[in-house]
Structure 1
Amino acid sequence: MTKISVNLPGLTMKNPLMPASGTFGFGDVPAAKKFDLNELGALVIKTTTPEARIGNPQPQIAVLDEGVLNSVGLTNPGVDEVITAKLPPIKKQYPELPLMASVGGESKAGYIEVARKLADSGKVNALEINFSCPNVAEGGMTFGVQPALIEELTAAIKAVVDVPIYIKLTPNVTSVTEIAKAAEAGGADGLSMINTVTGMRINIETRKPRLGNNIGGYSGAGVKPIALYQINQVRQVTDLPIIGMGGIESAQDVVEFMLAGANAVAVGSAHFKDALICPHIAQDLPAILEKLGVTDINDLVGQVEFN
Structure 2
Amino acid sequence: MDMHVSFGGLELDNPIMTASGTFGFGLEFAAYGDLTKLGGIVAKGLSLKPREGNPMPRIAETPCGMLNAIGIQNPGVENFLTQAMPALKRMGVTVVANLYACDAEEFGELASVLAEEEGVAALEVNVSCPNVKEGGIAFGQDPAQIGRVTEAVKKRAGNKHVMVKLSPNVTDITVCAKAAADGGADSLSLINTLSGMAVDIRKRKPRIANVIAGLSGPAIKPVALRCVHQVVRSVDIPVVGMGGIASAEDVLEFILVGAHAVQVGTANFLRPDFAFTLVDEVESLLEEIGAKSLEEFRGSLELPL
- Give TM-score scaled by structure 1 length: 0.94
- Cα deviations by residue, 1:193-219 (Å, 9 ceiling, x for unpaired): 000000001111111111121111000
Amino acid at match of 1:256: E
Unaligned runs of 5+ in 1: none
Tell me the amino acid that sits aligned with residue 21 of structure 1.
Answer: S
Asked if residue 118 in structure 1 is aligned to residue 114 in structure 2, the reply is: yes
1:155 aligns with 151
Cα offset for 1:86? 2.3
How do 1:55-66 and structure 2 match up within 5 A?
55-66=53-64
Q: Post-superposition shift, 1:220?
A: 0.4
157, 179, 183: which one aligns with 1:182: 179
SS class of match (1:159): helix
Counterpart check, 1:216 vs 2:213: yes
Q: Is the 8 A contact 2:34 2:276 kept in 1?
A: no
Amino acid at match of 2:111: A
1:248-259 alignment to 2 at 5 Å?
248-259=245-256
Change (3 A) 1:141 1:101: farther
Partner residue of 1:230? 227
Q: Does 1:247 align with 2:259?
A: no
| Counterpart residue identity of residue 269, structure 2 | F
1:262, 1:302 within 8 Å by CA — same for their partners in 2? yes
After superposition, the C-alpha distances for 1:4-49 in whole angstroms (9 at most, x for unaligned) are 22112343212110110011111233x3431110110111101101
- The correspondence for 2:189, drawn from 161, 176, 192, is 192
Query: Which sits farther off after the overlay, 244-253 or 141-150?
Result: 141-150
Out of 241, 261, 265, the residue aligned to residue 264 of structure 1 is 261
Which amino acid in 2 is paired with 1:128? E
| 2:126 aligned partner, one-letter code | N
Q: Residue 167 in 1 paired to residue 164 in 2?
A: yes
Alignment match of 2:296 (pick from 270, 288, 299)? 299
1:137, distance to aligned residue in structure 2 (A): 7.8
1:75 is matched with 73
Check conservation: 1:10, 1:126, Cα contact below 8 A: no
Asked whether the equivalents of residues 193 and 243 of structure 1 are also in contact (C-alpha less than 8 Å), the reply is: yes
Point out the more displaced range, 280-289 or 221-230.
280-289
Aligned to 1:13: 12
Counterpart CA distance in 2 for 1:127 and 1:85 is 18
Partner of 1:109: 105
SS of the aligned residue for 1:48 comes to: coil
- SS of 2:231's partner is helix
- Quick one: which amino acid aligns to residue 149 of structure 1? Q
Aligned residues: 301
Helix, strand or coil: the match of 1:47?
coil
Equivalent position of 1:283 in the other structure: 280
Q: Which runs of 5+ in 2 are unaligned?
A: none
Instruction: Give the distance between the partners of 2:296 and 2:127, measured in 1 at CA.
Output: 30
Whether 2:23 is the aligned partner of 1:39: answer no
Q: Aligned partner of 1:16: which letter?
A: P
**Which of residues 84, 87, 93 in structure 2 aligns to 1:86?**
84
Q: Aligned residue for 1:143?
A: 139
Q: Show CA shifts across 1:133-174 (max 9, x none).
A: 4xx684896211111111122112111112110000000001
Letter in 1 for 2:112: R
- Specify the code of the residue in structure 2 equivalent to 1:125: A
Q: Distance in 2 between matches of 1:225 and 1:138?
A: 32
Deviations 1:86-125 (A, max 9, x none): 2222212x12x21100011011121111111012222201
- Give distance in 2, aligned partners of 1:137 and 1:125: 26
Report the Cα distance in structure 1 between the residues aligned to 2:89 and 2:40, rounded to whole angstroms.
12
CA 141–23 in structure 1, closer or farther in 2 if over 3 Å, else same: farther
Identity of aligned residues (%): 42
CA RMSD of aligned residues (A): 1.6
- Tell me how far apart the structure 1 counterparts of residues 36 and 282 of structure 2 sit (CA, whole Å): 17
How far apart in 1 are the matches of 2:18 and 2:59?
A: 18
